[in-house]
Structure 1
Amino acid sequence: MLIKSYAKVNLNLKVSKKKKNLHKINSIFTIVPDLYDEIEIVESNETQDLITCNFKELEKKNFIYTVLNYLRDKKIITSYYNIKIFKNIPIGSGLGGGSSNAIAVAKYFTNNIKILKKISKTIGTDCYFFIWNFSTARVKSYGNKVKKIPDKIQIKFEDLIFTKVKCDTKKVYEKFDEIKGWKNKCEKNMLEIPALELYPTLIKYKELGQLSGSGSTFIKKTSLLK
């Protein structure tokens, strides 16, 4: 069975000043229904998990290993698995691909919300959104407050601008702190300015669209005006 692991975009993103080494956010997330990775899970007779992927860099370092180890630790699974990932969501694109993959695999094995939230807390902010089958939601606090809202704008593959730049989310947040980005409250996406400072190649796309998350994908302005 193939699992579909969907991309998401941020229609807006407000970020607070860091407290206790964390940033609170307030954002609208929406699924991109025609952009997803495909994941196949097969039980293995081996004593270790194996991930194969069309992006070789994800075969050794992958959040899915964290998920499987946690589930074994909690006795939800006992076996090891061969997992094949065919990625359509670009790496470092700000579309939540890694988080989506991790939660998609976790949900294959369990629907226990407490377990899924624990995994999300370990991996990152985007994960909480993928626990729920919401197409659009407001995501607040540390990502852990997720509330379904009506779909006002549906973003599809054709509405996105892929820049081929791999943005490092941690570095974007560090730049956000350095430039005191929390003061730029009028920005629709408060991570856009630090991302463009770190990756000046992205500047040429600013007139065409709005950055999603920490980058590097832009949503076409014409799509946001639908």
Structure 2
Amino acid sequence: MDRVKLLSPGKINIGLRVWRKREDGYHDIETVFHEVKLFDEIEMEISDEIEFETNSNEIPRGFENLCLKAVRIFFESFGIHSGVRIYLKKRIPVGAGLGGGSSNSAAVLKGLNILFGVGADDDLLSELGSLIGSDVPFFIKGGTAYATGRGEIIEPIEVKVPYKIVIVYPNVKVSTSWVYGNLNLRSHDGEESLKKIVVENIDKPDKLRELVKNDLEDVVFRYHPIVADVKEKLYEIGGGFFTDVGEWFSCFWIF
């Protein structure tokens, strides 16, 4: 096969707990990732050179481009001396906390695995993905997963999310590093794991509203009250529960 086309999904976080700051500057977290039906498209074909094209002017073309980083890591890992042409059609908003960049790089790893017939399994692709970003391993398998560590320790969980998910994107720019830098850590000692809470209460929205929280909310709400207003409005129209704040602020509401 010399050409492949893949869908690259976004994700939401159902709850997020920040446990502690690590010596490496990252934070240990606990969250549940859930894949959503909002997709970018990636087309790939074997070429003489490494080429990247996209319909978005917000995607970097240099070293920080996660798709090209995935190509470099894959080629170096398997000793491949070739080229590949990548075309990325963006639909997931850039920097929206929906994991679009990580999903794109995971799709590139999977596409290269098919194009060059390497036969790498999901575990190996996840290991390569962890060299790109913390949540890239999740997108290798997708679905729903319990994530710990920096978000790179992934445990798939069998749970059906029986709701419609509404993504609100009011275009409020909030960088993840800034939020963590202004976060007041609170103790989660003695609390049940988010995995247990979500699995046991997924069909009980009132219980989820009570038990599932996002530790980043307070910082975002404090500096960007419009985000809190959106949450209040969503409650007023009868939604189930508010689950996430993203990097540019995306608000996920489950009905």
In structure 2, the residue matched to 1:151 is 159
Q: How many residues in Structure 1 have an aligned counterpart in Structure 2?
A: 214
Q: Quote the offset at 1:76 in angstroms.
A: 4.6
Q: Quote the offset at 1:171 in angstroms.
A: 2.0
* TM-score (structure 1 length as normaliser): 0.82
Find the partner of 1:137 among 113, 138, 145: 145
Asked if residue 164 in structure 1 is aligned to residue 196 in structure 2, the reply is no
In structure 2, the residue matched to 1:56 is 57
Change (3 A) 1:118 1:146: closer
Q: Quote the offset at 1:166 in angstroms.
A: 3.7
SS in 2 for 1:203: helix
Change (3 A) 1:98 1:154: farther
**Cα distance in 1 for residues equivalent to 2:169 and 2:14:** 16
Opposite residue 90 of structure 2, the aligned amino acid is K
Q: Quote the offset at 1:59 in angstroms.
A: 4.3
Q: Quote the offset at 1:148 in angstroms.
A: 2.1
Opposite residue 176 of structure 2, the aligned amino acid is T
Query: Unmatched 5+ residue regions in structure 2?
Result: 114-119, 192-210, 235-240
**Cα distance in 1 for residues equivalent to 2:172 and 2:81:** 39
Change (3 A) 1:120 1:45: closer
**Cα distance in 1 for residues equivalent to 2:227 and 2:185:** 18
1:58-92 CA distance string (max 9 Å, x none) = 14141111111112222353212221111111111
* TM-score (structure 2 length as normaliser): 0.74
In structure 2, the residue matched to 1:212 is 244
In structure 2, the residue matched to 1:174 is 181
Mapping of residues 104-123 of structure 1, within 5 Å: 104-110=107-113, 111-113=120-122, 115-123=124-132
Change (3 A) 1:194 1:187: farther
Identity %: 30
SS in 2 for 1:204: helix
Opposite residue 77 of structure 2, the aligned amino acid is K
Whether the aligned pair in 1 keeps the contact of 2:53 and 2:86 (CA below 8 Å) is: yes
Change (3 A) 1:43 1:200: farther
SS in 2 for 1:188: coil
- RMSD value, Cα: 2.5
